[in-house]
Amino acid sequence: MVKIVENQWFLRYSDPEWKEKVKKHLMRMEIYPEEVRQWFLNVVDWLRDWACTRKTGLGTKLPWDPEWIVETLSDSTLYPALYTISKYPNLNLIKPEQLTLDVLNYVFLGLGDVEEIARKVEVDADLLRRMREEFLYWYPVDMRISAKELVPNHLTFYIFNHVAIFDEKLWPRGIGVNGMVNIEGEKMSKSRGNFIPLKEAIRRYGADVTRATLLLAAEDLDDPDWRERNAMEMKNMINQFLRIVREIASAKPVERSAVDSWLMSRLQRRIENITKWMEKLKTRKAFHDALYGLYNDWRWYTRRVGGSISKAGREFIETWIKLLAPFIPFTAEEAWSILGKSGFVSIEKWPTPRRELIDVEAELAEELIMRLMEDVRSIINVVKEKPRKAYVYVASGWKRGLLERTLSLLKEGRGREIGELIKWIISNKPELKKHAANLAKLQIEIVSSLIQSYQPENLTAIAGRELEIYKSAADFLTNELGIEFEIHSEDEKDLYDPKRKALSALPLRPGIYVE
């Protein structure tokens, strides 16, 4: 059985000339995520004439045939334009019935004589000029964000209709598409009661917790999954952040520490990454870096300096607040106020990375300390008795030549040619012949794990300072792991090394003996 609807109205999306204009504009638009662009193009290709009206339900009456109502997916495809002037009727500066076709043609298209139009509808011509100026101020739309289920219809209609009606310079510039929210792993359903009204979520968890939980749940086309456990964890994390801010607000800054260079360098990297992700609408990655990435940096810093915070630490916190402002705005404003800052953080200038503060060697030095700490912790976890001391053996000076040879092979694309390194070791230290293969393999693994983040010259420079770096961190390592640390060079005479662990020491990974 087929139901025939007589005198139905259609939008002629099948028009080839119209389609071509839409496709050309789609290729110029910013589309997030990028894979949705082809989806849009496919929709434009298969889209045919669309029945755009109905006889029942709520909706806008078709102006030239009021027996019909504009159907839901075709309605409101130009509503951003109406937003730009909606305040005028809302403030009773112009009546809805005065928004005639002539008025709208002037405001949105610049057509007609404004004085004549104003006289006809009995409004001030300056009011119409202000409406026109307001529209041009806001248009075109920089970014429209909506759900992926609207790509095959409403969002595509949105582009079609803008292309059909407005000047090219006023066509939409970008569209972002996201997934649909699930609740505790299941699709939202009013009939089954599996939903949380936004108002109730805000009452129960707070606006920032609600925003943050959804932001971290997914990005791009993935469907975010709202889970109460995640919301409560986010609430705790936000409270922890505010505790940190309160501690800083009441603390007196101390002299600059050696770790400050690392902290400031990490901050510049975070600013760079967060900004990059934001510009690509990768909100989950951006927020994760802004909240947890900076939190981890701060925790490491405070552990390294023993809780004493310098001016650099306070600058870090101020910048951290700015980076969180787009994601958890109420929390950011509270934190800004706690620090005694005036005004609103939301209108502060967005941080930009300061290249002069990026200290690659400071970052690498801290990474080596982290790696050493984790290696020793792993050993402690497997020994039967609680150890009392860790001996750390920094590789002999001649082994830096092995590092340089490894870097050279990697640069030439020959990183897997382990035989070259074995020959080099044997030629320099024939007595290590039976250990050469293992040393070569390990050196390649070490360098390969670092070369993606650091330049070869940074690795060789730090390798020459390893002894100094580990000695400066010995007290910190003792406090962290609860055992005494002794740092030695493999080249030392009468070296205490009962298990010959110094033999396995390599540049950027020392030998370790725990007793």
Which of 142, 158, 178 delimits the end of a domain? 178
pLDDT score, position 414: 66
Tell me the pairing of strands 182-183 and 186-187. antiparallel
User: Are 154 and 269 within one domain?
Assistant: no
Share of the chain above pLDDT 70, in %: 99
Long-range pairs, 151-157, Cβ under 8 A, ≥24: 151/36, 151/39, 151/40, 151/43, 151/177, 152/43, 153/73, 154/73, 154/77, 155/40, 156/22, 156/40, 156/43, 156/44, 156/47, 157/11, 157/13, 157/50, 157/73, 157/74, 157/77
User: Are 131 and 159 within one domain?
Assistant: yes
* Residue 215 domain-assigned (yes or no): no
pLDDT score, position 125: 96
Give the confidence band of 3 by pLDDT, cuts at 50, 70, 90.
confident
pLDDT score, position 417: 65
pLDDT score, position 184: 86
Which of 302, 332, 357 delimits the end of a domain? 357
Which of 178, 193, 228 delimits the end of a domain? 178
User: Are 48 and 131 within one domain?
Assistant: yes
pLDDT score, position 436: 78
Sheet arrangement for strand 174-178: 30-32, 174-178, 144-147
3-class DSSP state of 362: helix
Q: 276 is written with which tokens?
A: 């990059």
d(CA 307, CA 254): 10
User: Are 267 and 320 within one domain?
Assistant: yes
* Residue 186 domain-assigned (yes or no): no
Lowest mean pLDDT among 81-95, 124-138, 365-379, 407-421: 407-421
| Element of type H or E holding 178 | strand 174-178
CATH number of residue 23's parent domain: 3.40.50.620
pTM of the predicted protein model: 0.84
Give the tens place of pLDDT for each residue, 259-289. Answer: 999 999 999 999 999 999 999 989 999 999 9
d(CA 347, CA 466): 44
| Element of type H or E holding 478 | helix 474-481
pLDDT score, position 428: 76
Lowest mean pLDDT among 32-46, 52-66, 139-153, 180-194: 180-194
d(CA 323, CA 341): 16
User: Are 129 and 253 within one domain?
Assistant: no
* Residue 162 domain-assigned (yes or no): yes
Burial, 240: exposed, middle or buried (Cβ in 10 Å; 0-12, 13-18, 19+)?
Answer: exposed
pLDDT score, position 423: 80
Residue bearing the bigger pLDDT, 439 or 274: 274
pLDDT at 507 over 90: no
Give the tens place of pLDDT for each residue, 234-261. Answer: 999 999 999 999 999 988 888 888 899 9
Give the confidence band of 7 by pLDDT, cuts at 50, 70, 90.
confident
Residue bearing the bigger pLDDT, 306 or 403: 306
Cis peptide leading into residue 329 (ω within 30°): no
pLDDT at 336 over 60: yes
* Residue 213 domain-assigned (yes or no): no
User: Are 380 and 463 within one domain?
Assistant: yes
Provide mean pLDDT across the span 182-191: 82
User: Are 352 and 441 within one domain?
Assistant: no
Q: Which of 207, 208, 210, 244 is closest to 338 using CA atoms?
A: 244
Average pLDDT, the chain: 91
Question: CA torsion sign, 320 to 321 to 325 to 331?
Answer: positive
pLDDT score, position 107: 97
Give the tens place of pLDDT for each residue, 95-147. Answer: 999 999 999 999 999 999 999 999 999 999 999 999 999 999 999 999 999 99
Say how many C-beta atoms besides its own lie within 10 A of residue 485's C-beta: 21
Provide mean pLDDT across the span 43-59: 93
Q: Which domain holds residue 489?
A: 369-514
User: Are 340 and 376 within one domain?
Assistant: no
Give the tens place of pLDDT for each residue, 72-109. Answer: 899 889 989 999 999 999 999 999 999 999 999 999 99
* Residue 352 domain-assigned (yes or no): yes
User: Are 117 and 167 within one domain?
Assistant: yes
pLDDT score, position 190: 76
CATH number of residue 319's parent domain: 1.10.730.10
Phi, psi values for residue 396, rounded to 5°: -60, 155
pLDDT score, position 263: 97
pLDDT score, position 182: 86
User: Are 393 and 352 within one domain?
Assistant: no
User: Are 97 and 160 within one domain?
Assistant: yes
Give the confidence band of 444 by pLDDT, cuts at 50, 70, 90.
confident
* Residue 407 domain-assigned (yes or no): yes
pLDDT at 348 over 80: yes
* Residue 133 domain-assigned (yes or no): yes
Give the tens place of pLDDT for each residue, 469-497. Answer: 999 999 999 999 999 999 999 999 999 99
Residues 6+ apart with CB under 8 A from 442: 504, 506, 509
Number of domains in the chain: 3
* Residue 219 domain-assigned (yes or no): no
User: Are 418 and 390 within one domain?
Assistant: yes
pLDDT at 412 over 80: no
CB 32 within 8 A of CB 18: no
